[in-house]
């Protein structure tokens, strides 16, 4: 009989998430399309520059990262490092190693799953906080909790 493995997905405080790309044209400018495309969304810092946030837009606790995996599936994760648990300590996409990395604690995460690959996150099984990405047949995209 195998032992159950515990993984923690909710280390960071719950925060609302709602990023809307109303049209395919908006997605083509501000979205991500192919591996290893990635982009950060932080409403309070107007990231990405020129993106049209509306009153009911929310970008999570530390911001949101959209990233394409090797089969071009789009994933969304909170930018706050689950080890550090601070909205200001954010993970980044590491273009050289093609992982998501926290420069503060050194933990790395898999782009496809948010699974911790190394560091204190792996030791403690602290996964990145995932968010849902919905594609509309009309060309729009919604990222939400």
pLDDT digits (tens, 9 = 90+) for 51-74: 999 999 999 999 999 999 999 999
Task: For residue 8, tell me if it sits in a domain.
Answer: no
Task: For residue 39, tell me if it sits in a domain.
Answer: yes
3-state secondary structure of 115: coil
Task: For residue 3, tell me if it sits in a domain.
Answer: no
Q: Give the range of the structural domain holding residue 138, as residue numbers without chain letter.
A: 17-144
**Residue 6 reports pLDDT greater than 70:** no
Task: For residue 63, tell me if it sits in a domain.
Answer: yes
pLDDT of residue 104: 97
Q: What long-range pairs does 93-100 form, CB within 8 A, spacing at least 24? A: 93/36, 93/38, 93/65, 93/67, 95/36, 98/36, 100/65, 100/67, 100/128
Task: For residue 133, tell me if it sits in a domain.
Answer: yes
> Can you give the CATH number for the domain in which 125 is found?
2.102.10.10
Task: For residue 12, tell me if it sits in a domain.
Answer: no
Interval 21-36 mean pLDDT: 95
Task: For residue 109, tell me if it sits in a domain.
Answer: yes
- Sheet of strand 108-109: strand arrangement: 91-94, 99-102, 108-109, 116-118
Number of domains into which the chain is organized: 1
At 111-120, the pLDDT tens digits run 999 999 999 9
pLDDT of residue 2: 47
**C-alpha dist (Å) from residue 59 to 2, 28, 72, 96:** 38, 20, 22, 26
* Model pTM score: 0.93
Task: For residue 134, tell me if it sits in a domain.
Answer: yes
Report the candidate in 8, 5, 9, 7 with the shortest Cα–Cα distance to residue 145. 9
């Amino acid at each position: 009989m195998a032992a159950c493995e515990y993984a923690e997905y909710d280390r960071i405080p719950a925060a609302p998430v709602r990023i809307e790309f109303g049209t395919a044209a908006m997605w083509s400018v501000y979205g991500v399309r192919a591996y290893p495309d990635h982009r950060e969304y932080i409403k309070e810092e107007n990231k990405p520059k020129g993106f049209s946030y509306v009153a009911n837009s929310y970008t999570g606790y530390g911001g949101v990262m959209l990233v394409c995996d090797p089969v071009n599936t789009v994933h969304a994760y909170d930018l706050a490092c689950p080890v550090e648990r601070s909205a200001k300590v954010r993970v980044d996409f590491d273009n050289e190693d093609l992982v998501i990395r926290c420069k503060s604690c050194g933990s790395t995460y898999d782009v496809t799953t948010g699974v911790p690959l190394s560091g204190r996150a792996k030791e403690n099984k602290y996964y990145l906080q995932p968010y849902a990405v919905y594609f509309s047949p009309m060309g729009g995209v919604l990222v939400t909790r």
